[in-house]
Amino acid sequence: MLLQVLGTAAGSGIPSGTARAPDAPGHAQFHWRRRHASLAVRTGEGRWYLVNATPDLGDQIEAYPALHPGPGRRQTPVAGLVLTDAELDHTTGLTRLREAHDGLEVFATAPVRQAIRDRLRLDTVLAPYTDVAWHDLPVRGSAPLGAADGGEGLRGSALPVSGKRPRYAAEEPDDEEWAVALRLYDPATGASVLYAPALAAWPDHLHRAAAEADCVIVDGTFWDEEEPRRAGVCDHTATGMGHLPVAGPGGTAALLAPLTARCLYTHLNNTNPLVDPDAPQHKQLARLGLEVAHDGMVIQL
């Protein structure tokens, strides 16, 4: 299984295009950049699936030659998408793939699909440009994500982690499948990956999946529980904003450290000290055997 990390930033991006706390890392000048959190997974020769479609999708594709269009004028190696939630920073990039000649496959849970169709109306927007084939991202069982080099192909499944709805869908019914972790499994090798860019809780089924995985990539939005308040982002704590913090009581670092899997953080907010590669918090994580993913990272399992 081959994974290409396309981006590792939370919804505001790094640097943020709209707001930055006065004491945020690199306030005076950013010496680094992170695109919105996303992942590309190779499912066959010249065939890739993207996990989430970000506002940076065009730049992300341009940055990695394996994702470049061709050989035909409207052909693309991007065969499909898997959406872990309906947030704008994970869905609006769908419009950047509207010229896909052979159409697109999109895997999502029922509430995510409904929000995209009824609230964002992306079905209607994309229909004149390309054929979009929608598929359920199953909570029970798994779905095939395309043949891998003539083999059985990867399989994907969803693990509910939050009922948090996007603001634009606040009136929609409660559903535990609004935000999910994606489990990718390769039947040919037995390798598995768990990708959870937004975590509001750490349920037992997620812990079991993480314990069985070879690689775990999870929500690193905030370093600690009080970071949003301390940075003046809002009056809520990290958990109150739907993101388990990395450090401190109830933080994910303590949950990940005992695992045998390679564990990395993604979806970093611009207020998180981890966005600075020289921050001492990196050494704290390294002592626990944990890492912070970076844009452009390649993971081979």
The whole-number average pLDDT for the span 50-64 is 94
Report all structural domains of the chain as residue ranges with CATH numbers, in order of start: 2-16+32-300 (3.60.15.10)
User: Taking 50 as the threshold, does the pLDDT of residue 270 lie above it?
Assistant: yes
Residues 235-252, mean pLDDT to the nearest whole number: 91
Chain segment 80-106, per-residue pLDDT in tens: 999 999 999 999 999 888 877 677 889
Flag whether pLDDT at 300 surpasses 90.
Answer: yes
The pTM of this model reads 0.91
Reported as a pLDDT band with limits 50, 70 and 90, residue 250 is confident
Q: Are 269 and 222 in contact (CB under 8 A)?
A: yes
Q: What is the mean pLDDT of the chain?
A: 88
Helices (H), 174-233: 204-212, 227-230
Residue labelled with tokens 């680094």: 32
Bond into 228 cis (ω within 30) = no
Residue 147 has pLDDT above 60, yes or no: no
